[in-house]
Structure 1
Amino acid sequence: MQIFRLKDYKVIPKLNIEMSSELFKLEQYIVNHSCDIEHWFRTQWQEHQAPFYASVDLRNSGFKLAPVDTNLFPGGFNNLCETFIPLSIQAASIAIEKICPDAKKILIIPENHTRNTFYLEHLSCLCNILQKAGLEVRFGTINKEILEPLNLKLEGNKSILIEPIVKKNHGLVVNNVDGSSFRPCAILLNNDLSVEIPSILENIDQTIIPPVHAGWCTRRKTQHFEYYNAVANEFASFSGIDPWLINPYFEKLNGLDFHEHKGEEELFTKVELLLQKIKKKYDQYQIRHEPYVVIKADAGTYGMGIMIAKKAEDVLSLNRKKRNKMSVIKEGSKVTEVIIQEGIHTEETIEGAVTEPVIYMIDHFVIGGFYRVHTTKDKDENLNAPGMHFIPQPFETSCLMPDQGRPCDDEANRFYAYGVIARLALIAAARELEDNS
């Protein structure tokens, strides 16, 4: 997958269509009532513990602004603007104090595909944040094929040392060359556990963050969006908006086998009904776009196992290549469950290329974000695909608070609104993890 980062890129995304009156009212409310909103968020965080970190993919169609995915094992810290590193360090310090107040050492467990250069750059940035928050950091792998320390080179004379981990006295340790061992106070997972919870992570007395049940082997997108649906309704009641403006419709389907054509008729029916439901909303708001749905593996990641349907018949006419693409995801996991999610057109572009914002959080703090850009995709396609690139949040301020002296659709104010919607997804994730612990 070709992924690259453009440094010091200051182009601001352009919204290509005139914003609908309803969405404009929403942005206006968010900017002008930020004190009320921040108070509402504080009451939520008094009741719920935010995940240690998360990223949320958003889409802005000009008539709708909503999350389409929430990642509890975010990569891509290397794509964030370096200006906001101090904010990240402060947020990480607060998060660690809550989870493990006496923490001095932390072990990061990365994904198994550790030779991906861009992922390694992400690990280096994450390590830098935690080290500056006062932690001694090591990387330990659950990849059984790595039996010796693996030193991986990065640009600028940097490197990442990935080491095997062993279980000792009900805890995970990394053995040192001198015979001693590094025993962390906490384990930070940056591995989304797509296949299973490894036995080495079971029955240990160290704090694991996020908890192992946040992994895709147990977590489901549909479950997350059920929680988000509740949060969106609460926020809509609080702010007096139509919750549909910030909430994508979705359906769940189990028992699929794309190779064997199993479950296709039921998929056809669910897609048809969801498209009709979306069309009614489009008619209500006089939206001229063509409705579409995104069918995704319910436990999917890395943009794998995704297809677009603009009519129900699309799911009955898949060729072999598309069936193979939808049948398996990361590490060969078979797809039998999908989320059928309302597609949200992205009307933001950078120099003509479609783009979508990705918001990053540590604890309950927005620490920045970037724009995912794709030069060969359309506004109704998946941008998390080969050929994408990233542009860091190009603002001089952190956008943690809006500037009420500037227009509501000012770019920095808009990014603040993005942070509000992303934090709604974060609340949903917090409740989801609590209820499934």
Structure 2
Amino acid sequence: MMTEYDGPELLSELSEKLESKREELSVFFAEARAKLPMPLYASVDIRDAGWKVAAVDANAYPAGFNNVGSPDLTHLSEHLQKWLKNEHPNASLLHIWPEGHTRNKGYVENLITLQQLFSKGGMEVTVGSPDLNGLDTVEGITGVLKLSHTVADGELLVLGKSPDLVILNNDLSHGPLEGIGGIPVAPPQAMGWYQRRKSNHFRHAQPFIDQAAEILDIDPWLLGTHWFVSEDKCLEKETCLIELAAQVDSFLEFLKRKYDDYGIEGEPVLFVKNDSGTYGLGILEIRSGEHLMNLSNRKVNKLTYGKGGAEAIDFLIQEGVPTALSIDDHVIEPCIYGAGGHSCSTFYRANPKKGVMANLNTPSTKFLQPDDISKMEGGDLILERVDSWHALVAELAMLAMGSELAELTSSVVSHD
């Protein structure tokens, strides 16, 4: 299935062990969730190489709910309602605070889906922000979304009423919400990209990965990625860049030894990402320290450009995980959506133009539902891991998000 990489099917070989440890893992997850503030919702990008599986990104305010298939929407809605009942049992008026992407029909469709998901609990659900007050409606893929006039001037008022809870669907790259008073926000604003760091997520993830690996008696490397952080605009300073290139080569040598240990053929790759979040912008693939040294100014500028023109300062250097999943000449990666720390739904990014190591969060990527996959040759092999390895690493990532949140809300002044 893979052209550039070949290795043992360790996940298949270990599947019986995973099943035999399912009860012990369930206890581990239940105990961990009970100690943490689990987020209302989250999405996790998964890479499955056949010999390892890893969560490579975890989103606190995901868009893309419109890509979730109908059967999974019911499951997702049930877990969202359960979270609300536990955390905000008296809430009856919810207000979704969106991004400003009103011209992106896919994003608007995401908001329509979110509104429907929360409305299933019998609550009134409005959508809007002060930035969108000039618009009455915005157009999605399947219909029109009505926006509600929103005032945030020391107190949040939507159509003259104060919501019980703000559902945040905005990644807060530009800072926390202002003028909303003491209304609770979910997921909390502390997870916004104005202060959250990708590297901090992976730092919080590692202890949970280690514990799951201990239960399974496997190498933790099979459930995660290695990484380090380059700080203070290092890519723009020659002396620092030379040191960073040496670090990159050392990191790649470590990965080559891992490949040799497991009999994996192919050259390891690293990805350089903005540590302060990105929409898939500014992600570069590097194969050596020399490759890093020889990056063109155009590529460096692309890498340092953040959302809304914000300049990236720190970079996550992360092990690349090739995907062993493909169907009809499309490379595939799972994207799992969850609520309250539980894996609830899966869809797949699919791209016929990309290689097995490439970032698939691009405009040329299309989305496939499990129903679509099931009808394709080889689809069963992909779907059989949904509730096993893929759910495992997704829920480990959600534990990490809960741990991040606990740290962020205890160490900084909360804006909620």
TM-score, structure 1 length as denominator?
0.87
* Structure 1 counterpart of 2:82: 94
1:386 & 1:311 partners in 2: Cα distance? 27
1:312 & 1:252 partners in 2: Cα distance? 15
* Structure 2 counterpart of 1:405: none
- 8 Å CA contact retained: 1:256, 1:262: no
Superposed CA offset, 1:1-60 (max 9, x none): xxxxxxxxxxxxx78888725433433222333222222211222222311100110101
In the TM superposition, 1:293-304 aligns within 5 A as 293-304=270-281
Measure how far apart 1:87 and its partner are. Answer: 1.2
Q: Does 2:163 align with 1:184?
A: yes
1:21 & 1:77 partners in 2: Cα distance? 32
Number of aligned residues: 402
In the TM superposition, 1:271-420 aligns within 5 A as 271-394=248-371, 410-417=381-388, 418-420=390-392
How much identity, in percent, do the aligned residues show?
30
Q: Does 2:152 align with 1:167?
A: yes
Q: Does 2:179 align with 1:200?
A: yes
Superposed CA offset, 1:171-229 (max 9, x none): 3112x3xxxx131100111000112224335xx22111111110011000000000111
2:116 & 2:271 partners in 1: Cα distance? 36
* Structure 2 counterpart of 1:9: none
Q: 1:413 to 1:15 in 2, by over 3 A?
A: farther
Q: 1:277 to 1:77 in 2, by over 3 A?
A: same
Q: 2:218 aligns with which of 213, 233, 241?
A: 241
Q: Does 2:40 align with 1:63?
A: no
* 190-199 or 236-245: bigger deviation: 190-199
Q: Does 2:151 align with 1:151?
A: no
Q: 1:367 to 1:15 in 2, by over 3 A?
A: farther
Superposed CA offset, 1:249-296 (max 9, x none): 000111116466684223312211211111111111111121110110
The residue type equivalent to 2:162 in the other structure is R
Unaligned runs of 5+ in 1: 1-13, 398-408
SS in 1 for 2:179: helix
Q: 1:26 to 1:430 in 2, by over 3 A?
A: farther
* 38-47 or 308-317: bigger deviation: 38-47
Unaligned runs of 5+ in 2: 375-379, 410-416
2:366 & 2:239 partners in 1: Cα distance? 36
The residue type equivalent to 2:25 in the other structure is I
* Structure 1 counterpart of 2:113: 125
Measure how far apart 1:306 and its partner are. Answer: 0.6
Q: 1:261 to 1:104 in 2, by over 3 A?
A: farther
Q: Does 2:395 align with 1:423?
A: yes
1:393 & 1:344 partners in 2: Cα distance? 22
The residue type equivalent to 1:153 in the other structure is E
- 8 Å CA contact retained: 2:95, 2:126: yes
Q: 1:95 to 1:242 in 2, by over 3 A?
A: same
Q: 1:58 to 1:43 in 2, by over 3 A?
A: same
Q: CA RMSD in A?
A: 2.2
1:127 & 1:266 partners in 2: Cα distance? 49
The residue type equivalent to 1:302 in the other structure is Y
- 8 Å CA contact retained: 2:43, 2:62: yes
* Structure 1 counterpart of 2:413: none
* Structure 2 counterpart of 1:135: 123
